[in-house]
Amino acid sequence: MERKLWIVKHDDGISGYFFDTQRRVTIDVFNVIGDFISIRKKKIGTDGRNRTIYALQNHIFTQLVDDDPCEIERQYDCYYEEMHREVKRAFINLKKALVIINSPSAKPQRRINDFEELKSILGLNFAVEISQFENDCDVSKAPQTMKDNFSITYKNCKSVTDLVFSMLHFYISNRYRLIQCKHCGKYAAVSSFKQTYCNRISTYRGHSQKKDKKPLACEQAVRDAKQQHARQRKSLYDKMQKATAYHAHNVYNRFLAECENHRMRIDIAPSVANLVAYDNYLYQVSQKREWTKMDMEEVVKQMDEYYERFGDMFPTMAFQNATPDEVSKMILDCLEKDKKMKVDLDVVY
């Protein structure tokens, strides 16, 4: 079946479509290859007889090549196997192409030549057609700021490899690189290595985030999470500072060191996992409220001092629900004012 990739450059950006004889499917030009790379692979079977299974999950390429109804009805298993072989082949060849695309030192023309060479070695013969540049397939020669729309069509795409390579051809001739997003870890086509995030929607959700919060793209999500973490950290830090307990000092130092570790890790790799780890840590600290729990040893020392001073035990039974920190405050208060704690016995029992 004849399939086509059609890319349109217009004032608002770039749109892409796949066609076959029956339909047109919109694709995300910058992420379609990255999503393909992310398809999960799994090895099954025993040694010597193992094979790779791909969780294709409706990826656009496989949608187009996957459902020729007559074929499926006739010999579903066989077709499915063939499909997997197709995807596997595309994967292997894609790896070789990525080396060319991302070669940091090679000049654009050199990369195009290397790519064309690989294309011919693989025997791919999709044809490229650019609407406003007759007899010239090099999109990189197109003016950078074009007022009029132009389109580029990749015809005669028969296999998954054809679809992948026609998309790669577009990247390479327009000087795009494929980067791995620092946040979501998926690959995306970008115009410069300086760009380190993709435009996908982040899956990160923090504990304190509202349920109805609008979804954010990777870069914005990281910025947002960092601000959120800084606010949470500050709020916990303030509470710890207010806690007068002796033990709180240890809690406080441990907390600062742990936050610093998380922050450093996030600065190097602001991945979803690292943001979640810091968020979970802050959440746990806020739940445990460790700064309110004073070291019992210190309370015992204060109680001894109370006994020596007043010749009587501090009436702890009257304050069974108080935290050690609160008891400590009461004892210190008595010592400071030089007054015994008055307890209304009716209330106690």
Stretch that binds Zn ion, among 35-43, 82-90, 160-168, 192-200 (CB under 5 A): 192-200
Instruction: Output the smallest distance, CB 98 to Zn ion, in A.
Output: 17
What is the smallest separation between the CB atom of 199 and Zn ion, expressed in angstroms? 7
Q: Look at residues 32, 288, 261, 55 and name the one whose alpha carbon lies nearest to residue 163.
A: 32
Segment interacting with Zn ion (CB under 5 A) among 45-53, 168-176, 211-219, 258-266: 211-219
> Minimum distance from CB of 37 to Zn ion (Å)?
13
Provide, rounded to whole angstroms, the least separation between the CB of residue 93 and Zn ion: 25
Least Cβ distance, residue 190 to Zn ion (angstroms): 11
Quick count: other Cβ atoms within 10 Å of Cβ 155? 16
Query: What's the 3-state SS for the chain?
Result: CCEEEEEEEECCEEEEEEECCCCEEEECCCCHHHHHHCCEEEEECCCCCCEEEEECCCCHHHHHHHCCHHHHHHCHHHHHHHHHHHHHHHHHHHHHHHHHHCCCCCCHHHHHHHHHHHHHHCCCCCEEEECCCCCCCCHHHCCCCCCCCEEEEEEEECCHHHHHHHHHHHHHHCCCEEEECCCCCCEEEECCCCCCCCCCECCCCCCCCCCCCCCCEHHHHHHHHHHHHHHHHHHHHHHHHHCCCCCHHHHHHHHHHHHHHHHHHHHHCCCHHHHHHHHHHHHHHHHHCHHHCCCHHHHHHHHHHHHHHHCCCCCHHHHCCCCHHHHHHHHHHHHHHCCCCCCCHHHHC
Interacting residues of 318 by C-beta distance below 8 A, sequence separation 6+: 341, 343, 347, 348
Does residue 126 contact residue 180 with C-beta atoms inside 8 Å?
Answer: no
By CB under 5 A, residue 259 contacts Zn ion: no
Choosing from 97, 218, 259, 330, the residue that interacts with Zn ion (CB under 5 A) is: 218
Nearer to Zn ion, 20 or 224 (CB): 224
Q: From 3-11, 108-116, 167-175, 184-192, give the range in contact with Zn ion by CB under 5 A.
A: 184-192
Query: Which residues share a beta bridge with 153?
Result: 6, 129
Nearer CB in complex with Zn ion: 33/160: 33
Q: Which residue is nearest to Zn ion (CB)?
A: 181
- Residues contacting Zn ion: total by CB under 5 A: 6
Q: Of residues 3, 9, 59, 200, which one binds Zn ion by CB under 5 A? A: 200
- The smaller minimum CB distance to Zn ion, of residues 84 and 182, is found at 182
- Candidates 27, 32, 130, 181: give the one binding Zn ion (CB under 5 A): 181
Query: Which CB atom, from 271 or from 328, has the smaller least distance to Zn ion?
Result: 271
| C-beta closer to Zn ion: residue 200 or 233 | 200
Please identify, among the stretches 10-18, 120-128, 213-221, 262-270, the one whose residues bind Zn ion according to the rule CB under 5 A. Answer: 213-221
- Candidate segments 199-207, 251-259, 286-294, 304-312, binder of Zn ion by CB under 5 A: 199-207
Tell me which of 184, 243, 266, 272 binds Zn ion, using CB under 5 A.
184
**Beta carbon of residue 184, minimum distance to Zn ion (angstroms, whole number):** 3
The least distance separating Zn ion from the CB of residue 198, rounded to whole angstroms, comes to: 4
Q: How far is the CB of 271 from Zn ion (least distance, A)?
A: 10
Tell me the closest approach of the beta carbon of residue 196 to Zn ion, in angstroms: 9
Q: Identify the residue among 65, 198, 275, 327 touching Zn ion (CB under 5 A).
A: 198
- Min separation Cβ 14 and Zn ion, Å: 18
Using alpha carbons, select from 147, 148, 150, 146 the residue that is nearest to residue 132.
Answer: 150
Stretch that binds Zn ion, among 177-185, 221-229, 281-289, 294-302 (CB under 5 A): 177-185
Cα(174)–Cα(138) distance, integer angstroms? 9
Provide the binding-site residues for Zn ion, judged by CB under 5 A. 181, 183-184, 198, 200, 218
